[in-house]
Amino acid sequence: MTIRQLAVITGGSSGIGLELARQFGRNGHDLVIGGRDPSKLEGAAGLLRRETGRDVTAVPADLTKPEGVERFHDAVVRLGRPVDVFCANAGVGVGGGDFSQTDLDAELALIDLNVRSQVHLTKLIVRDMVKRGEGRILFTASISGLMPGPFETVYSASKMFIRSFAEALRNELAPKGIVVTALLPGPTETNFFHRAGMEGTPVGDGPKDDPAEVARQGYEALMADKHHVIAASLKTKLQGAATNLMSDPMLAQVHRGMSEPKPARDGQAVSSVGAVALMGAGLALVALLASSAANRSGRRGDYYRT
């Protein structure tokens, strides 16, 4: 009798998290999905059961609170099955203004979810993986984690933390049989920009990647034991590669051009010609150098891996 593996996915009721659940379900995993809204989460679980034919357990939990993390983990433990895959996907964004204007409570809640809960839940799950000498962890970071993020200051910093956290854990845990991969999506067609208050920004109103394709690339990177993947479109991959060719001040200006809200007084977008020109120049240079850069050893070349 073949025992099916179990994949645990936080933020699994919609967006990239739901698509990750689809990927693992279609590839033979039973699923545990977490989310804050019980009705939305159960709806996603029912959809996944119908589509994949797998066992799907919905565990509502507010991961912004330590007791919510503990309750979620306790529910997983009560299933009596080892966690073979953990997708640390839950996260939120806060934008819509500069740091002096944005809501402090929302930003502290963002830190609680994007940073503190990831450390807390990963600590609980990874201990059992280490005891068994096997397991896989996929962290959903962001291409924003490769650059300073004006008008998303706290969000971008949180994703920089997750990217660094994932890379360090990968190094620590590889000798113990644990695979750790970071998924770095670009702008993706989810409800993220609405919830983050970023409608009316160039990035919020611009073209976005398909979450199903982002999830597919994340799944394949994890199963192939890659340390990270920039997903999903060629444009996003080139933007990620271009971050290695620019200074932090240049990257901050590029990000500002994408995330700064339109002025309320006239509804016109802030001019971002300089930022667009910088990114355009970087993309052009990447396109010319991609073949040779992909073969370089070390950190710079690694960012061309998919």
Whether residue 303 lies in the annotated active site: no
Q: Which of 155, 219, 303, 304 is catalytic?
A: 155
Peptide bond into 109 cis (omega under 30): no
CA gap 165, 305 in Å, rounded: 19
CA gap 176, 157 in Å, rounded: 29
CA gap 83, 138 in Å, rounded: 13
3-class secondary structure, 266: coil
CA gap 261, 268 in Å, rounded: 9
CA gap 134, 137 in Å, rounded: 10
Assigned token pair, 126: 């990874």
* Packing angle of the helix pair 248-259, 273-294 (nearest 10 deg): 120
Q: Supply the residues annotated as catalytic.
A: 155
